[in-house]
Amino acid sequence: MSATATLKQAVKDVWWTWKGRSIANPPLPANPRSLLFVCLGNICRSPFAEAIAARRAQELSLGSLRYASAGLVARSKEPPQEAKAAAHGFGVSLDGHEARPMTGELAASHDVIVVMESRQMDQLHATYPVTRGRVFLLSLFDRDATGLDRYNIVDPFAGPLAAYEACYHRIDRAVWALLMAIGHAHRAAEKSAS
């Protein structure tokens, strides 16, 4: 990385550390039935998050959850080849996936809505007020992330395969932590009900 790129990254990290003080996820519902993953185009990040969540949920015995994904600006039809190849490395297939645009019906019909970038959280709240209290920033579940990465899972679109792989590693780690938190909230609710 060049000195200029390093300096730019350091400035972004400092800015996001300052801005991030006002960004937080709401409390998770005790017993969510559905998760909707949202990104910009619904061809890279959110369809991968949907697929990896469905697979990981089985490992955690959270099989009753329903998963979907959508894009705020879903223009392209299908994921790029690099996205498909990176997903296959995680045992997930994006073959046959077609981008789905975000709608008010999707917003209203899911208990937990998970976005990839902080501005997507703001956009959903503005466009679909019904989502307030149900939108979660996935990157906040990645406890190792700092600076810019703490509040954004950067879009790998048009990047090399390595960019998709790095992005998918972050999504996988954050989805695992999200599902662990949902499982914990579910068990705590069951315990207090009995």
Positions annotated as catalytic residues are: 39, 45, 155
- Look up residue 18 and give its amino acid: W
| Angle (nearest 5°) at CA 120 between 40 and 85 | 35
For residue 112, give the 3-state DSSP assignment. Answer: strand
| 42 φψ region: left (φ > 0), alpha (ψ -120 to 50), beta (else) | left
Give the sign of the dihedral formed by CA 183, CA 72, CA 121, CA 79.
positive
136 burial type by CB count under 10 A (0-12 exposed, 13-18 middle, 19+ buried): buried
Alpha carbon of residue 83 to chain centroid = 15
**Contact present, 43 and 80 (Cβ < 8 Å):** yes
- Within 8 A by CB and 6+ apart from 174, the residues are 138, 139, 141, 142, 153
